[in-house]
Amino acid sequence: MTITISSAFDAGNIRVVSQDGDRVDLEIVKDHMSDFYQWFHFRLAGAAGRDLTLRILNCAGSAYPHGWPDYRACLSLDREEWVRVADTSYADGILTVKLTPPTDCVWLAYFAPFSMERHHDLITAIAALDGVGYSSLGKSLDGQDIDCLTIGDGDLNAWLYARQHPGETMAEWWMEGALEKLCDPEDPVARVLRRECTFRVIPNMNPDGSRRGHLRTNAVGVNLNREWHAPSAEKSPEVLCVRNAMDKVGVDFAMDVHGDEAIPANFLAGFEGIPSITERQTRLFKLFSDTLERLSPDFQTAQGYEIPAPGQANMSMSTTQLAERFGCVSMTLEMPFKDNINLPDPVYGWSPQRSKYLASACLDALHAILPELKAERKSASRAA
C-alpha cells in the first residue's frame, strides 16, 4: 500500500522529497515571500502497522536550528490529543521521527495546531457570553478579520494579544485558557479583574500566516513583531489596526504571547533599553514576574533572552514600543516548543493544557499586583 502525505488544509505545511519503502524524506516549506520556516503539520495516511522513518531534511537552514536538539515531534490519532513521539532525534541538520502508526490516518505537527476553524469556534463561543463585546479591528491582507474581544469595565486598560508569529500555536492555546478564566462568572480572581480592568483580547494577530501554515510571517512575508514603530496598510495592516485601537483607549498593562523554539522553559522578556524607561515600569514588571514565579511551577526567571543595554532596545517590537509609547507595563511571554525542563512531561511535553494553566496563573499574577498597578497609576496621573 502507498503511504500518502498531505498538507493542503488549514495550517498545513510539508513537502515530500522522496519515498523509499518505509522511509519518507520531507522538507518544511518556507513562509510565502520569506526565508523563515520551522512549522510543519501534515497527515500521514495508509501506514498502519508499518515501522516508518520520517526524515525532515532541511532543518539546518530553518529559522531556529537550536530548536531541534532535544525536540520531540507531536502526534495525534484523533486531532484532539497530541502526544510526543519518543523516538525523535536530530543530527546533521536532519530531524528523524520513527513511529509505527496504529491506524491509517495519523497527524504530525511541530506543536499541537490551533487552526483558524478552532479560532472561529473560540471567538464565536466567547462573543456569545454575557458581558463580552466583539469588534473587528481591521482586515488582514488575505481579508480575514483581526478579532478583538472586550471583557470587563474597569479603569485599567489591559491588552492581551497572541500569535504575531503564527507557528507559535501554544500562544492561542494560552488565549483559550485566559478567555475561559476571564469569562468564568464565578471565578473570584476573574470577578475582581473584570471590575478593575477592561480587557481587550486579540487571540490571533496573524490569521493569514496561521491559515497558510507559516512560522513567523503574514501573507507577504512580513514579521509583524518588527513593524510596531511604523506599521503600514500595505505590509502590516494587522499591526496598524491594533496599534490604532490602542492609541484610542490607552494601555496600562499588555502581554504579547509567543513560543520559543530553543529554550526549554517559560520566561518573560521586558522593555529594558527603551529611551524613556521609568523606575515604576521596571519595578512593576519585576513584581509581576516574581509573583508569577511564586504562583506557577511552570514559570521561571533564570533562563531567558539577553537583556539589552540602556538605550539599545529594538523599538520595532510590540513590547518595547508599547512601554515607550504609553509608559505602561508590557511584556512578551515565551513558552517552549520542547518542554519545561524544570518540570518535564514525557508523554505530552509542553502542551495545550499546560499553556492554558499558565494563562490562568498569569491572570492570578495580574490580580496579585493590581493594588500596585492601580495606586501608582493614580499617582502618575496626579503628577501629570
Q: Which is nearer to Zn ion, 165 or 194 (CB)?
A: 165
- Whole-number Å distance between alpha carbons of 59 and 256: 27
What minimum distance in Å lies between the beta carbon of 280 and Zn ion? Answer: 27
Tell me, letter by letter, the H, E, C secondary structure of the chain. Answer: CCCEEECCCCCCECEEEEEECCEEEEECCCCCCCCCCCCCEEEEECCCCCCEEEEECCHHHCCCHHHCCCCCCEEECCCCCCEECCCEEEECCEEEEEECCCCCEEEEECCCCCCHHHHHHHHHHHHCCCCEEEEEEEECCCCCEEEEEEECCCCEEEEEEECCCCCCCHHHHHHHHHHHHHCCCCCHHHHHHHHHEEEEEECCCCHHHHHHCCCCCCCCCCCHHHCCCCCCCCCCHHHHHHHHHHHHHCCCEEEEEEEECCCCCCEEECCCCCCCCCHHHHHHHHHHHHHHHHHCCCCCCCCCCCCCCCCCCCCCCHHHHHHHHHCCEEEEEEEECCCCCCCCCCCCCCCHHHHHHHHHHHHHHHHHHHHHHHHHHHHHHHHC
Instruction: Among 43, 165, 200, 211, indicate the residue that binds Zn ion (CB under 5 A).
Output: 165
What minimum distance in Å lies between the beta carbon of 171 and Zn ion? Answer: 8
227 counts as catalytic: no
Q: Which is nearer to Zn ion, 107 or 173 (CB)?
A: 173
Is 163 among the residues that bind Zn ion (CB under 5 A)? no
What minimum distance in Å lies between the beta carbon of 82 and Zn ion? Answer: 20
Q: Rule CB under 5 A: which of 261-320 touch Zn ion?
A: none
Q: Which is nearer to Zn ion, 212 or 367 (CB)?
A: 212
Angle between helices 170-182 and 352-383 (to 10 degrees): 70
What's the chain's length in residues? 384
Q: Are 17 and 29 in contact (CB under 8 A)?
A: no
What minimum distance in Å lies between the beta carbon of 168 and Zn ion? Answer: 5
Q: Which is nearer to Zn ion, 126 or 222 (CB)?
A: 222
Is 214 among the residues that bind Zn ion (CB under 5 A)? no
Q: Which is nearer to Zn ion, 36 or 299 (CB)?
A: 36
Q: Which is nearer to Zn ion, 236 or 291 (CB)?
A: 236
Residue count, binding to Zn ion (CB under 5 A): 3
- Whole-number Å distance between alpha carbons of 166 and 12: 12
- CB-neighbour burial class of residue 260 (10 A; exposed 0-12, middle 13-18, buried 19+): buried
Stretch binding Zn ion (CB under 5 A), from 5-13, 164-172, 226-234, 299-307? 164-172
Stretch binding Zn ion (CB under 5 A), from 65-73, 109-117, 158-166, 347-355? 158-166
What minimum distance in Å lies between the beta carbon of 66 and Zn ion? Answer: 15
Is 258 among the residues that bind Zn ion (CB under 5 A)? yes
What minimum distance in Å lies between the beta carbon of 83 and Zn ion? Answer: 24
Q: Which is nearer to Zn ion, 166 or 349 (CB)?
A: 166
Rounded to a whole number of angstroms, the CA Rg of the chain reads: 21
What minimum distance in Å lies between the beta carbon of 339 and Zn ion? Answer: 18
Stretch binding Zn ion (CB under 5 A), from 15-23, 83-91, 166-174, 346-354? 166-174
Stretch binding Zn ion (CB under 5 A), from 42-50, 178-186, 231-239, 255-263? 255-263
Stretch binding Zn ion (CB under 5 A), from 254-262, 287-295, 336-344, 345-353? 254-262
Q: Which one of the listed residues 306, 324, 334, 372 is annotated catalytic? A: 334
Stretch binding Zn ion (CB under 5 A), from 39-47, 95-103, 163-171, 339-347? 163-171
Q: Which is nearer to Zn ion, 107 or 159 (CB)?
A: 159
Identify the CA nearest to 228 among candidates 302, 147, 301, 159: 159
What minimum distance in Å lies between the beta carbon of 342 and Zn ion? Answer: 21
Active-site annotation, residues: 334
Rule CB under 5 A: which residues touch Zn ion? Answer: 165, 168, 258
